[in-house]
Amino acid sequence: MLIRRPNDIRSSEITDRALYLRRRDFLGGAAAFSISAAMPLGAAAASLSTIKSPLSTEEPLTPLKDVTSYNNFYEFGTGKNDPAAHAHTLKTTPWKVKVDGLVAKAADYDIDDLIKNISLEERIYRLRCVEGWSMVIPWIGVPLASVLERMEPQGSAKYVAFETLVRPSEMAGQGGIFQSLPWPYVEGLRLDEALHPLTILAVGLYGEPLPNQNGAPIRLVVPWKYGFKSIKSIVRISLTEKQPPTSWNLQNPNEYGFYSNVNPAVDHPRWSQATERRIGAGGLFVKRQPTLPFNGYAEQVASLYAGMDLKANY
Amino acid sequence: MSPSSLYPASIARLALGSDPVRRAIYIAGMTPAVWYFYCGLVDELGADPQKTLERVLGLWALRYLIACLSITPLRRLRGPNLLRYRRAVGLLAFYYASLHLGVYLLLDQGLDLVAIWADIVKRPFITIGLMAFVVLLPLAATSNAAMIRRLGARWQRLHRFVYLAAVAAAAHFIMVVKAWPPEPLLYAGVLSALLLFRLRFIRKRVAAPMRGRNNLSMRQAN
């Protein structure tokens, strides 16, 4: 039996276009001021001025309403709609990020100082969740490399560890007797992964500061890895010599490795990773699409893993 | 209800003829499925409509299974006797399990037989889910008066497999999620309570003749 699409023009594309045009208006209107120079990130409804990036994909964007209503952010609950429902309680101003470990300039940085004078870029990336769905999101952020280089990592630094805020009073999923994960949520990258040009610290999406449910005010985006590597609401960045622990690996080491590169050839023990469903791409009858090695970024990042057995280092 | 109504022949008698309440149960019972399919068609099922539809249909199958298994304990605890509606509730569980499987095969996997076969042999949660469905098949097929008559005492033995299906369904739910969200554990907890009640009742029934004598002697003493 064939499943026919009701229509060749997908409703999501129409929505996308409207949002796309709106976003351009924002860019034009916002040209007079630069967020990185003058505006605190927490300023409500501030549109962000960005430059475009050749690293962006030209695939149709996932509609804003899906990007902001379908989230895994267990600090606000395990349901997909929980973050959108509960994240408004999170206060993102002021926001400090502790930078420590093997760096010359270890300190508690205000978020604005952390990314000061680094041009905000729009990076339209695919995001592939380990659960088998994907989105295309127009992030706004800065290369992580630009931030790290400013901190002057020592020669002995080999990894970067990240930590999410723990604040049960504002994060509904961290309260109560039933905890889905140990807090804080922690993630990590090898230093060369962290310094790769594709890796960014995002502070916005769709032309606006990050909504809380998407990891405000600052989150990691590593597009060739499963989504859970892209840690949200970061409060600490540490340079380390040893491979840092990562939350999902701690929770279930057989299912989630340190690398967690998108790989259609290595199944999650409980489900296949061969295909994915693009969220917001046309309703009930849209088909799954093949998942690409490194989420389609193999050309840029495969060399990072030359000689490594990716089945063993999943 | 007299104990004689527990016997297959009495159940068969109850099942005969039309019953407006039973009809209402079927209609009300199928309403969530109709509603969610409608929402899916008008693109109101959220960001991942296939997954949402799959999930709600599976959840309703599990809910009806639990409701079905609650009918006997409810009666034992001197609650209302809903035995005459058990078949309707059980069949609803089966219909929802069928729709859940159908959405997985057609809308989720797009009838990609290679991927489906790989799922069945490689993914324990799919294997167990399918097992639950396969166990329900003969139960649904024999949920009619003719089969109850034909199978006699074997009918009841066959239909005890509903517990296996329910355990498999609850395990299937736990295994599909990441970490330990509360909802699957809640369903597994309710199901465990029902199973424990059932085991306790069986043990009591085994011990019943003995206790009957005791009661008698006590009454005599009074």
On whether residue A108 sits in a domain, the answer given is yes
Place of tokens 């929770």: A251
Interface of A with B in 178-197 (CB under 8 A): 178, 180-181
Asked, for residue A1, whether it belongs to a domain, the answer is no
DSSP H helices in chain B: 8-15, 20-41, 49-76, 86-102, 113-122, 124-141, 145-151, 153-159, 162-176, 182-221
d(CA B109, CA B111): 5
pLDDT of residue A14: 47
Give the bridge partners for A101, in sequence order.
A239
B51 to chain A: closest CA residue: A284
CA distance A200 to chain B (A): 25
Q: Which residues of B touch A180 (CB under 8 A)?
A: 179-181
Q: Report if residue A314 sits inside a domain.
A: no
**H runs (alpha helix) in A153-297:** 191-194, 247-251
pLDDT at residue number B188: 95
The reported pLDDT for the residue numbered A3 is 56
Residue A126 domain boundaries: 11-305
DSSP string, B182-199: HHHHHHHHHHHHHHHHHH
- Is A7 an interface residue toward B (CB < 8 Å)? no
The enclosing domain of A295 has a CATH number of: 3.90.420.10
Is residue A181 helix, strand or coil?
coil
Residue A178 has what pLDDT?
Answer: 77
Q: Domain boundaries in chain B? A: 3-212
Q: Which residues of chain B have pLDDT under 70?
A: 1-18, 205-222
In a domain, A5, yes or no: no
Provide the pLDDT for residue A46: 59
Q: How confident is the model at residue A295, as a pLDDT?
A: 98
CA pseudo-torsion sign A195, A198, A204, A208: positive
How many structural domains does chain A have?
A: 1
**Which of B40, B118, B175 has its CB closest to that of A270?**
B175
Whether A133 maps to a domain, the answer reads yes
| Residue A310 belongs to some domain of the structure | no
**Domain membership flag for residue A243:** yes
Within a domain: A162: yes
What average pLDDT values come out for chain A (314 residues) when binned by 10 residues? 51 47 44 42 62 95 96 94 96 97 97 96 98 96 97 97 97 86 96 98 97 98 98 98 96 93 92 92 88 97 95 90
- A270 and B125 within 8 Å at the Cβ level: the answer is yes
